[in-house]
Amino acid sequence: MIPVRLVSVGKAVPSRTVSSESLDASLGRPPGYTFKKSGVRSRFFAAADESQSALGARALHDALRNASLGVDAIDLLISACGVPQQALPNTACFIAAAAGLPAGTPAFDVNASCLGFLAALQVAGGLLASGAYARIAIVSSDLASRGIDWDDAEASLIFGDGAAAVILERGTAEQGIRAVKFATYPEGRHLCEIRGGGTARNPRAGAVPADYLFRMDGKAVFKLAVQLLPAFLDELMARSGAGLDALDVVVPHQASALGLLHAAKKIGVPEAKLVRIYETHGNQVAASIPTALYEAVMTGRARPGQRVLMMGTAAGLTIGGLILDL
């Protein structure tokens, strides 16, 4: 057990709610096309004047309010976004500025694509256990709409924007990370990608505009994940020392309608234990899991004393899962 206590959660969404019907109209598609392709009824898109860091700061302020804490109570800020606000410097410093954290508050990024929040949670747990910090905030904020290629229905219609935050402290012997596992399979590294923006493809290396847009081979991702997930889940549960029946809440990455359906079938837990926000939020990249966790906590579905499984897949291809005892 890595002792971690979930102090509070926070959430923020952009100003615009975009329905599938409105996308049908704007994209020149027949009525019902977007929902049939995506399974998303509505999602949130940031306006041109809304920034990723400002959205993340709003989520952090929400978490602080829910814990009755001020910005000076945070010892460390970890940004866990799937795509950064810019290549350099890290997104954490932009969120810290937007949130008004005191000058000198340490802040850094942890990037594991859609599983960034889980990776950051593991890092934070180790830092809290070591005594290096007393109170850590993790913020996941992603504006997927800024990188959508509308000519590719598979890689565009499923996404939404959003941000979520958690505040953590060191837990007790009964609170914390019961088990955690990540596994990366580089043969899937080109199945989900944005090729531009780094040293491989940039204006001096022959980059074209399409390199800066998200591309995905969804069928190949699903096929590879289906092959790997059963053994992965078995090992994760073995590490926890208990079976699936010991889980009170399951918070999957809200990747796609098909992905959620398969996860529910494989995990085999009652529908009441599964947290679904995909239909009203879409895939929010790294903000997906913590936003779903926020919904579970704020609705009372995830409470102190319960055991929560958070899991999903990410670009790379990476599979990750973390079991948290609240």
Closest CA to 210 of 153, 152, 268: 152
How many domains does the chain fold into?
2
Instruction: State yes or no: is 262 an active-site residue.
Output: no
One-character DSSP codes across 215-252: EE-HHHHHHHHHHHHHHHHHHHHHHHTS-GGG-SEEEE
Same domain (yes/no): 151, 295? no
The model's confidence at residue 268, banded by pLDDT at 50, 70 and 90, is: confident
Same domain (yes/no): 199, 59? no
Same domain (yes/no): 118, 226? no
User: What pLDDT does residue 263 have?
Assistant: 76
Question: d(Cα 184, Cα 141) in Å, to the nearest integer?
Answer: 23
Domain C-terminal end among 173, 201, 226: 173
Same domain (yes/no): 44, 119? yes
Among 66, 90, 111, 283, the one annotated catalytic: 283
Same domain (yes/no): 145, 208? no
CATH of the domain at 50: 3.40.47.10
Same domain (yes/no): 181, 168? no
Same domain (yes/no): 10, 36? yes
Instruction: State yes or no: is 114 an active-site residue.
Output: yes
Query: Tell me: the pLDDT tens digits for 270-323?
Result: 888 999 999 999 999 999 999 999 999 999 999 999 999 999 999 999 999 999
Same domain (yes/no): 168, 217? no
Same domain (yes/no): 14, 160? yes
Domain C-terminal end among 138, 173, 208: 173
Range of the domain at 106: 2-173
Mean pLDDT, the chain, integer: 96
Instruction: State yes or no: is 81 an active-site residue.
Output: no
Domain C-terminal end among 125, 140, 173: 173
Among 66, 114, 192, 281, the one annotated catalytic: 114
* pLDDT: which is higher, 94 or 173: 94
Q: What's this model's pTM, rounded to 2 decimal places?
A: 0.97
Same domain (yes/no): 251, 319? yes
Question: d(Cα 171, Cα 160) in Å, to the nearest integer?
Answer: 33
Same domain (yes/no): 265, 164? no
Query: Tell me: the pLDDT tens digits for 44-75?
Result: 999 999 999 999 999 999 999 999 999 999 99
The yes-or-no verdict on residue 156 having pLDDT over 90 is yes
Query: Tell me: the pLDDT tens digits for 72-90?
Result: 999 999 999 999 999 999 9
Same domain (yes/no): 150, 257? no
The model's confidence at residue 264, banded by pLDDT at 50, 70 and 90, is: confident
What is the separation of C-alpha 162 from the centre of its chain, rounded to a whole number of angstroms? 9
